[in-house]
Amino acid sequence: MLTADHAGWGYTTSTGLAFTHEEIVDPHFDACAAYYRDALDGVGIERGWHVLDAGCGSGAFLPLIADRVGAGGRVSAVDLAPESAERAAARMRDHPAAVPVEVRQGSVLDLPYADGTFDAVWCANTTQYLDDGELARALTELRRVTRPGGLVAVKDVDGSLSTVRPADPFLITDFFRASARTPGYARQLLRGRDLYRRLRAAGLTAVHQRTILMEHHAPLNPSALRFYGNACARFARQAAVEGIAGDWAAFLDPHGPAHPLRDPDGYISEGNVIAIGTVPAGPCPTPFESTETNGQEQGRTP
């Protein structure tokens, strides 16, 4: 789960995983809230259900899930970082909905719940931190804790759809192409549109998938400017560390007047993928051992 390049990307929690700290996660959710609500609306969560948010981070999705299950439902959540689990629990203590919510610290690779506990599982922005073997193991766990006929929904980024204007239209594409030559976080950020077949390999049925293009035009709102300005600065620094060519200078200062996102024609796009499958009756399969491990050790715990 923890590849050597995470520290360079920054914004880590106590897990050491990049881009998991509330300082970067919460502005991203605020900037993309409408797209995230749309993604969650498409899952098919019903009132009265018990839903797990697997990899809940600071808990931004929990109020939305609570609203969907209603007063007769229940919400559970788990996150690897203890401080994120604590923040998520605090968020829900302040939420007005009368929905029982339980938040735990734990790993998606070994979920602390019995078989068939949930009607649905929501897993957002989490699989990007798993190598191929771990992803197979996590999906098997998501299936295990969901009842037959229940739903498993996985949402994550697809880095191949990221671009910034006005700037070299291939700047971020070339960054990913270069950085993803070796195993690590960048390569896993390009795996979003493979989720459908990963869910099928985990034994889920009726799998369907859609891609959401999140677009932001100038003038960007403060949350979008904060998140994407800081994220682009990290990309620029990472490019310098890895020796990736490109005109990154304008991105180094998120507050600089020459930053492309502060231009009157500023624009940035980000791709997200959501894949949804149904849990069939019968025992869970053995975790699929992918042949596409990219040289990474499979199945290791964080």
CATH number of this structure's domain 6-159+186-214+270-278: 3.40.50.150
Element (H, E) at 231: helix 222-242
Question: What's the pLDDT score for residue 183?
Answer: 87
Alpha-carbon span 153 to 171, nearest angstrom:
31
pLDDT at residue 237 tops 70? yes
- 296 pLDDT tier (thresholds 50, 70, 90): very low
- 233 pLDDT tier (thresholds 50, 70, 90): very high
Per-residue model confidence as pLDDT tens digits over 117-165: 999 999 999 999 999 999 999 999 999 999 999 999 999 999 999 999 9
Reduced DSSP (H G I as helix, E B as strand, rest coil) percent helix, strand, coil of the chain, to 5: 35, 25, 40
Residue 169: exposure state from Cβ atoms within 10 A (0-12, 13-18, ≥19) = exposed
Question: What's the pLDDT score for residue 228?
Answer: 95
Alpha-carbon span 221 to 291, nearest angstrom:
43
Per-residue model confidence as pLDDT tens digits over 76-106: 999 999 999 999 999 998 887 678 999 999 9
Question: What's the pLDDT score for residue 225?
Answer: 95
Alpha-carbon span 111 to 116, nearest angstrom:
12
**pTM (global) more than 0.75:** yes
In 3D space, the residue among 4, 2, 5, 31 whose CA is nearest the CA of residue 230 turns out to be: 31
Residue by residue, DSSP assigns 27-49 as HHHHHTHHHHHHHHHTT---TT-
Per-residue model confidence as pLDDT tens digits over 61-77: 999 999 999 989 999 99
- 293 pLDDT tier (thresholds 50, 70, 90): very low
- 294 pLDDT tier (thresholds 50, 70, 90): very low
Q: What is the arithmetic mean of pLDDT over 253-264?
A: 95
Q: Sketch the domain layout of the chain as residue ranges.
A: 6-159+186-214+270-278
Question: What's the pLDDT score for residue 4?
Answer: 64
Q: Return the bridge partners of 208, or none.
A: 276
